[in-house]
């Protein structure tokens, strides 16, 4: 049964997403980069909960979808861009400004396309790397502390940010990970997902960025195989089958 509380609770989680995203920007301005990265991670976790709560309570609304998109743009778009600029690109301001602006632009395009074509329906899967995944990858790289010496160079960061920007705007299909332990291929996939969840819970500092990058690369790899087999064409990576204006 839909109640006023049923509508308020998902929106509260959306506002927590927005709030932690904005606080992440403030922490970057104060120079607290690790804290900012953790705030981005918290914000994106709240983003993952608001939609599920709305669907569970049957309280999905156009208002909630728009509020969620604006919040995502702050927490998973603007905040990670400001964070990576402050972390890496301060000495290369023009290069950093270009890369970070491209990231925010791609994120805004990705959200608008999702709302226009799918109306927030995640059951159809995703076209392009989801913005929260891209934002989580950047935050994960900032806190990345593996059990060996590793310090990504400015060039590595630049390639990563541009890579994320390009593939957010692509049409590479992604499915959100689901756990299904029935016999078959999906069972092994679910076991891998479960192992990833355990790694994230036990050692997020060194597992967060690699796992999210692996998730992105699986989609790109599958689409690459489709192109090699002739099931898809290279130009379709960035061409939609539907018009964003509502016509084909």
Q: What is the pLDDT of residues 70-90, one digit of tens each?
A: 999 999 999 999 999 999 999
The residues that bridge with 217 in the sheet, in sequence order, are none
Domain definitions of the chain by residue range: 62-237
With helix as H, strand as E and coil as C, how does the chain read?
A: CCCHHHHHHHHHHHHHHHHHHHHHHHHHHHCCHHHHHHHHHHHHHHHHHHHHHHHHHCCCCHHHHHHHHHHHHHHHHHHHHHHHHHHHHCCCHHHHHHHHHHHHHHHHHHHHHHHHHHCCCHHHCEECCCHHHHHHHHHHHHCCCCCCCCCCCHHHHHHHHHHHHHHHCCCCEECCCCCCCCCCHHHHHHHHHHHHHHHHHHCHHHHHHHHHHHHHHHHHHHHHHHHHHCCCCHHHHCCCCCCCCCCC
pTM across the whole model:
0.86
Q: How confident is the model at residue 247 (pLDDT cuts 50, 70, 90)?
A: very low
- pLDDT above 70 as % of the chain: 79
**Of the listed ranges 10-19, 152-161, 232-241, the one predicted with least confidence:** 232-241
Report pLDDT for 78. Answer: 98
Q: Which of 29-43, 133-147, 184-198, 215-229 has the highest mean pLDDT?
A: 29-43
Tokens of 164: 């994320």
* Residue that wins the pLDDT comparison between 174 and 20: 20
Mean pLDDT value across the chain? 83
CB of 169 closer than 8 Å to CB of 112: no
Q: Closest by alpha carbon to 61, among 123, 7, 132?
A: 7
- pLDDT above 90 as % of the chain: 43
Report pLDDT for 123. Answer: 55
The mean pLDDT of 197-223, rounded to a whole number, is: 86
Q: What is the pLDDT of residues 86-106, one digit of tens each?
A: 999 998 899 999 999 999 999
Report pLDDT for 182. Answer: 58
d(CA 214, CA 174): 12
Report pLDDT for 179. Answer: 54
Q: Identify the sign of the CA torsion 37, 39, 45, 51.
A: negative
Report pLDDT for 127. Answer: 86
Q: What is the pLDDT of residues 4-46, one digit of tens each?
A: 555 678 888 899 999 999 999 999 999 999 999 999 999 999 9
């Amino acid at each position: 049964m839909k109640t006023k509380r049923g509508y308020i609770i998902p929106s509260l989680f959306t506002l927590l997403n927005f709030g932690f995203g904005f606080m992440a920007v403030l922490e970057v301005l104060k120079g607290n980069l690790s804290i900012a990265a953790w705030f981005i991670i918290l914000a994106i976790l709240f983003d993952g909960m608001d939609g599920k709560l709305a669907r569970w309570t049957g309280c999905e609304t156009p208002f909630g979808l728009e509020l969620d998109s604006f919040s995502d743009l702050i927490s998973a778009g603007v905040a990670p861009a400001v964070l990576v600029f402050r972390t890496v690109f301060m000495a290369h301001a023009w290069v950093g400004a270009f890369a970070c602006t491209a990231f925010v632009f791609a994120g805004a395009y990705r959200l608008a396309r999702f709302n226009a074509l799918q109306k927030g329906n995640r059951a159809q899967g995703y076209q392009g790397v989801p913005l929260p995944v891209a934002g989580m990858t950047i935050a994960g790289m900032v806190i990345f502390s593996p059990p060996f010496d590793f310090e990504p160079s400015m060039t590595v960061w630049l390639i990563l940010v541009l890579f994320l920007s390009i593939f957010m705007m692509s049409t590479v299909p992604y499915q959100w990970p689901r756990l299904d332990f029935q016999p078959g291929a999906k069972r092994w996939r679910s076991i891998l997902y479960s192992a990833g969840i355990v790694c994230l819970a036990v050692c997020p500092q060194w597992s967060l960025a690699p796992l999210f990058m692996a998730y992105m690369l699986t989609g790109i790899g599958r689409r690459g195989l489709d192109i090699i087999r002739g099931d898809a064409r290279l130009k379709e990576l960035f061409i939609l089958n539907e018009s964003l204006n509502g016509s084909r």
